[in-house]
A and B are shown apart, each in its own frame.
Chain A
Amino acid sequence: MTAEPEAAAHVVLDDVHLAFAGRAVLRGVRCGFPRGKISVILGGSGAGKTTILRLIGGLVRPQSGRVVVDGVDVCAVREADLYAVRDRIGMMFQGGALLDSLTVFDNLALPLREHTRRSEGEIVAEVRRSLAAVGLADAEALLPGQLSGGMIKRTALARALVLRPEILLCDEPFSGLDPISVKRIEGLLCRINAELGVTMLVSSHHVRSTMRMADRIVLLVGGRAVTGTPAQLRASDDPWIHEFLDDGDAEGRLSDDGGEVLEPETRPIL
């Protein structure tokens, strides 16, 4: 497709190869994510969408290639230096990844308590503001086990933003939600991008929302990336892309329970 100028790229993947347990997932992915825009990584399940986000977060390392976040190659730095990069990233996990022994309030307060020197009063105010912004003002004393799917996603979103990151990674924010909740999350994400100017990388197989909210789409095809704006992809004459986009409109085809299982390289012996 057309090559977008990489000058405004906040995050760049350069010829990334990644395989799990002998199965190649990414075969030389090259793409960039522009600063301050909403980019959506689109693809079927198992295509590697979540993997790209995990690569950017430094949670997994590729066999070859570079993943450059704001000028830092996260594949080449030590674990200790990774934390400095992660300070600028907020991640919203597919299952929320909330600490299930803490209340919603404490889950949001945790990063504030860890990384800022604010007083408890300031933290309380900040957490309440975040919860109100995502519509969960009444939920602060609940445990994650007591929340609905949509509430978990919104809490995870609020937690990812509480330290005002420059980059927001959202792993399948629409999975498992009813259409009204999907619209709600979509609206929140767009508002956050508009008001805070956060660079957003969203992985999704939800074509309709993608076409609505994305400034740029990275389509994962056979382990490679095809980049373009929604209009460009629509106008493309590649039949495969159209099959993907058109079939995706029927919500049944691409929606599944998602989730890629990552196999560790070591196995316990007993």
Chain B
Amino acid sequence: MMPNANRDIAVGLFVFAALCAVAFLSIRVGGASWGAPGGLALHATFAEIGGLKVRAPVEISGVRVGEVTAIGLDADYQARVDMDLDAGLQLPVDTSASIVTAGLLGDQYIALEVGAEDEVLQPGDAIAFTESAVILERLIGQVVHGSKVDGEE
């Protein structure tokens, strides 16, 4: 069992490379975080979230500032979406959140429209102004229904 220095180096490199791969997959790809690192946690209530998923991005003017951390139902059976945003963001209390689609058939994400008030949202606050997701089928149904109504008039 004489230790072979080259072998030991190889083992060390192998384990290191593998652990880097594990870390990459866990953190970059999987999004594991070290607990709550002081991000800005907000939540918003929507009547319809469409295809929004946990880990969907939250963007301001197209720039990613955070992600959706949890989706659930509140007492009124409205969808409550929790998000974790970059720490230090100063968002006025009249900021609005809408669920939009990337492209026609793409994934859904949350776009924040910054408001104008002086007061800013604190961690744990709710975003008051929300716009639910647009469901394509309902939109088409409205168009069809609308044209029928027009036709009847």
Contact = CB atoms under 8 A, between A and B. Distances in A.
A contacting B, Cβ–Cβ less than 8 Å: yes
Contacts of B1: 102, 106
A103 B2 CA distance: 9
Interface of A: 102-103, 106
Contacts of A102: 1
A112 to B, nearest CB: 13
Is chain B's interface secondary structure helix, strand, loop, or mixed overall? loop
Contacts of A103: 2
Contacts, number: 4
Interface of B: 1-2
A21 B120 CA distance: 87
A106 B1 CA distance: 7
A128 to B, nearest CB: 16
A28 to B, nearest CB: 45
Nearest to A99: B1
Contacts of B2: 103, 106
B142 to A, nearest CB: 64
Nearest to A109: B1
B4 to A, nearest CB: 11
Contacts of A106: 1-2
A102 B4 CA distance: 12
Nearest to A103: B2
Nearest to A110: B1
Nearest 4 CB-CB pairings of A with B:
A106-B1, A106-B2, A102-B1, A103-B2
A124 to B, nearest CB: 13
